[in-house]
Chains A and B, each alone.
Chain A
Amino acid sequence: MKRLTVVSLALVFCLAAVIPARAQQRDAISIVGSSTVYPFATVVAERFGKAGGFKTPKIESTGTGGGFKLFCAGVGVQHPDISNASRAIKASEFETCQKNGVTEIVEVKIGFDGIVLANSKKAPPLSFTSKDIFLALAKEVPDPKGGEALVANPYKTWKEVNPALPDVKIEVLGPPPTSGTRDAFLELAMERGALAFESLKKLSKEDAKKFQKVFASLREDGGWVDAGENDNLIVQKLVANPNAVGIFGFSFLDQNTDKIQGAKVDGHVPSFENIADGKYPLSRPLFFYVKKAHVGVIPGIQEYLAEFTSEKAWGKDGYLSEKGLIPLPEAERKKVAENVKNLVVLKEAK
């Protein structure tokens, strides 16, 4: 009996080991990547699928980094065709791609996303300068009593930062360190704010690394709260807590204008027009990347690209703008569309 047991066990595991032989088969585009691009990519994918001819692409929201990891794993059916990204591909990721045989990548810049600071409608509207933002959120700030030295952030309320601001506790709900939105916020708002100080400006020229550490270190004493990736939840937390300020993508402000209001940054309100013409300072480009080797093999990739880069999708009055995507300037749109049509390959990452 014991022998029988052993034999049958062995058989079961042999069986388990052979199953991998089943190779995969795919007849729809597979897209991975950033959760920021996800809402726009899905709209295009859905229209593309409804138009008939091809199956609707499958889109996973994995985060930009997770998306590149999957995308750069290799060429072949089991790997995705397109990776969405809320930042340009990094040199290290580009190298990984090259190493794994993904040599030809087409970069498509699709538009801008505004990062807004907002609070509840129940509270008075706010207006920040990027200097205020830096002073309120940095871990170390230049000594308010004067001098070059950096001291631990002493500000507790907005009023202490800037007398024009209300006298409430600083409480900012923002994206966690793993988020691409956070990186963008640091570079766009915090760096700008830090450069408003002469001493830090000098530092940036002398010791770029140290300067980066200054503007990219957010306070950890409760003024800044890492609030997770769910932007809708942040919006609702703002409604529940009128004293808090939240940081998230423009589309969430756009959809909730009756509950929350965007704060002015350096005098400009976060509106569609202001972001589009570059007046509002906190905006970043969005991308997606296509594996050229898959074009023509996985059915529908070219058509999907054509749909995405058509005027009715990403144009000034296109359906993506309805969803909150800020379009590229017209000349740039034309250029990108042309590149996409000819599948111009990315030479190197910036």
Chain B
Amino acid sequence: MSKTQGHPRAGKTPENSRTIAVVRASLPRRYRSERRFRLLGLAAVVLSLGFLALMFASLLANGVSAFRQTEIRLPVHFDPEVLHAEALAQADYGQLIRASLGRLFPDVEGRRERRELAALVSSAAVYDLRDLVMRDPGVIGQTREVWLKAGADIDMAVKGHFRRDLPEAERRVSDRQFAWLERLAAEGRLEKRFNRTFFTAGDSREPEQAGIWGAVSGSFFTLAVTLMLSFPIGVAAAVYLEEFARKGRITDLIEVNINNLAAVPSIVFGLLGLAVFLNFLHLPRSAPLVGGLVLTLMTLPTIIIAGRSALKSVPPSIREAALGVGASRMQTVLHHVLPLALPGMLTGTIIGMARALGESAPLLMIGMVAFIVEIPKGFTDPATVLPVQIYLWADSPERAFVERTSAAILVLLAFLVVMNAGAIWLRKRFERRW
């Protein structure tokens, strides 16, 4: 071999020209393999992105309709007979709605038919009416056109999830109701409008009244705790283990430990949280604080492992140069190594946080899989998180929750995209500076 690597001029020898011939002959094959390899790589990327696109497409197809909600415009007469000024909160608002529907469809008679008619409007619409009256008591005695949410089954029917050609007994919307809907639509009283409730309300058992804001707030508080704890601790631990710790039994032990923790099923962290935070430290159940602590323990190993790799990839020459001009080891690390390693550490943190954002199994053990209507306002209020909300909705019998499940997943993914975008921006900034 050494001969073939000689000076080009020496290439005149017969031996060399033979080598060149061999190389030339092999070139097409090598180029082919090069192209193959490249295509293979591209195919892998395209395949991964294809899976992503597939997921998104199916979610969008299922979930996008949840962002709009069928509403019915009714001329509601705010009857002073029903609304007594001193007890506005307890008044029977359902009666107002029934009366209004009765005026629109005066020919409806019989108990069964009336029930079906009343079912056009959501059973939760009374709370919207109540809020309206409480906000503006001046409407009492007047008649106003009010947009009210349609019932979940009606909403599904309008969105085309119940086929009309099925026998009547097998769908949840009767022929009569379809006829009424057609009349309402013809009169311009039926519309699909932007579903604000979905973004502003907490959980509910009535699909049309259910929203994700409670879960989003819960996720926010939980992740805030996780980020505040896991990022500094993770970076500190990585720095110590990589830059300061003497390589020996103890660091080996810690390293094995951390790798092992990354492999522990997340539900085991839930067991730990139950034993330590709830039973020993007596922190409140279902609180974002505890959820955040459990998720911190869960994400720490990921962040530490990624952080150590990032530190490893900083060339030793940087350290040697800093030490050479008289910096202490701490100065070397803080001023030179750490800033260079931060982009890599951020990547690890993002992966860890993304995992924390989508995690539900450990929260099961600490009471965060719960029905919570009120929006959490702090770190110790009972709360649930987005993936748990998705899990709960996915297990709900009502059909209208199917599209809401997908919609909630879309929202979760949107957060993920925002997080990643922020991280890329951060990464870029750090990279520019160094």
In the complex, A touching B, CB below 8 Å?
A: yes
Q: Is B245 an interface residue when CB atoms closer than 8 A count as contact?
A: no
Given contacts A19-B281, A319-B123, contact A52 B89 (CB under 8 A): yes
**Residues of A with C-beta under 8 A to B372:** 56, 58
The verdict on A59 contacting chain B, using a C-beta distance below 8 Å, is: yes
A217 to nearest B CB, angstroms?
A: 29
- Whether the Cβ atoms of A45 and B286 lie closer than 8 Å is no
Interface presence of A241 (CB below 8 A)? no
A230 near B374 with CB under 8 A, answer: no
If A255-B398, A258-B170 touch, whether A20 touches B281 (CB-CB below 8 Å) is yes
Cβ–Cβ contact A257 & B370, under 8 A: no
**In-complex Cβ contact of A255 among B280, B373, B392, B397 (8 A):** B397
A258 lies within 8 A of B163 (CB) = yes
Asked if A78 lies at the interface with its beta carbon under 8 angstroms from chain B, I say yes
Please determine whether A39 and B369 come into contact, CB atoms closer than 8 angstroms.
no
Mark B276-304 against chain A: 1 for CB-CB distance below 8 A, else 0.
00001111111000000000000000000
Those of A12-58 within 8 Å (CB) of chain B: 19-20, 22-24, 26, 28, 30, 35, 38-39, 41-43, 45-46, 49-52, 55-56, 58
B367 at the interface (CB under 8 A from A): yes
List residues of chain A with CB within 8 A of the CB of B280: 20
Is the C-beta of B166 less than 8 angstroms from some C-beta in chain A?
A: yes
A59 to B204: give the CA distance in the assembly, Å: 12
A50-80 at interface with B (beta carbon < 8 Å): 50-52, 55-56, 58-61, 78
Contact of B282 among A22, A39, A61, A257 (CB under 8 A): A22
- A84 to B: closest C-beta gap in Å: 11
Which bucket holds chain A's interface residue count?
A: 35 or more
Across the interface, name the chain B residue whose C-beta is closest to A56.
B373
Query: Number of contact residues on B: which range applies?
Result: 35 or more
Given A23-B282, A58-B286, A257-B170 in contact, is the A46-B373 Cβ separation under 8 Å? yes
Chain A 169-197, CB within 8 Å of chain B: the 1/0 string?
Answer: 00000000000000000000000000000
Does A46 lie within 8 Å of B171, measured CB to CB? Answer: no
**Given A22-B282, A58-B286, A59-B370; A258-B398 close (CB under 8 Å):** no
The verdict on A231 contacting B395 (CB below 8 Å), with A38-B371, A55-B374, A58-B370 known, is yes
Are A49 and B374 interface neighbours, CB within 8 A? yes
CB of A138 to closest CB in B, whole Å: 29
- Judge if A232 is at the interface, Cβ distance under 8 Å: yes
CB-CB under 8 A from A39, the residues of chain B are: 205, 396-397
Complex Cα distance, B396 from A251, in Å, reads 10
Judged by a CB distance under 8 angstroms, whether B253 is at the interface is no
Minimal beta-carbon separation of A312 from chain B (angstroms): 10
Report whether over half of chain A's contact residues are helix, strand or loop; otherwise say mixed. Answer: mixed
Cα distance A30–B204 in the bound complex, in angstroms: 17
In residues 111-163 of chain A, which contact B (Cβ within 8 Å)?
none
Interface: A252 (CB within 8 A): yes
A43 & B395 in contact (Cβ 8 Å cutoff): no
Which chain A residues (223-242) contact chain B, with CB distance < 8 Å?
230-233
Pairwise interchain contact B396-A232, C-beta atoms closer than 8 A: yes
The minimal Cβ–Cβ distance linking B65 to chain A, given in whole angstroms, is: 17
Interface class of chain B by DSSP: loop
Are B395 and A232 closer than 8 Å at their CB atoms? yes
A43 touches B205 (CB 8 A): yes
Of A19, A24, A60, A256, chain B has the most CB atoms within 10 Å of the CB of: A60
Residues of B within 8 A of A315 (CB): none
Please encode chain A, from 238 to 266, with 1 for each CB lying within 8 Å of some chain B CB and 0 for all others: 00000000000101101111100000000
**B282/A78 in contact, CB under 8 A:** yes
Min CB–CB distance A54 → chain B (angstroms): 11
In the complex, A22→B163 CA distance in Å?
A: 57
Cβ of A279 under 8 Å from chain B:
no
Name the A residues within 8 Å of B89 (CB-CB): 52
Q: Which residues of chain A come closer than 8 Å to B163, judged between CB atoms?
A: 258
Contacts of A26 in B (CB 8 A): 284
Contact with A along B119-133 (1 / 0, CB 8 A): 000011001000000
Check if A42 sits within 8 Å of B371, measured CB to CB: yes
Cβ of A323 within 8 Å of any chain B Cβ, yes or no, is yes
User: Does A327 lie at the interface of the complex (its beta carbon under 8 Å from any beta carbon of B)?
Assistant: no
A324 at interface by CB-CB < 8 Å: yes
Question: Which residues of the other chain, A, contact B281 by a CB distance below 8 angstroms?
Answer: 19-20
What chain B residues lie within 8 Å of A43 (beta carbons)? Answer: 205
Residue of B nearest to A25 (CB): B284
| Interface 1/0 per residue, B134-172 and A, CB below 8 Å | 000000000000000000000000000011001001111
Inter-chain contact A254/B397, CB cutoff 8 Å: yes
Output the least CB separation between A316 and chain B (Å).
12
Q: List 11 A-B contacts (CB under 8 A).
A: A22-B282, A28-B374, A46-B204, A52-B90, A59-B370, A60-B285, A61-B392, A230-B394, A251-B397, A252-B397, A257-B169
| Additional A-B contacts beyond A60-B286, A255-B172, A255-B399 (17; CB < 8 A) | A20-B281, A23-B282, A28-B374, A30-B285, A39-B396, A46-B205, A46-B373, A49-B373, A50-B127, A56-B373, A58-B370, A60-B371, A61-B370, A232-B397, A254-B397, A258-B170, A323-B397
Using a CB–CB cutoff of 8 Å, the interface residues on chain B facing chain A are: 89-90, 115, 123-124, 127, 162-163, 166, 169-172, 204-206, 280-286, 367, 369-374, 382, 392, 394-399
Residues of chain A touching chain B, judged by Cβ–Cβ distance below 8 Å, are 19-20, 22-24, 26, 28, 30, 35, 38-39, 41-43, 45-46, 49-52, 55-56, 58-61, 78, 230-233, 249, 251-252, 254-258, 317, 319, 323-324
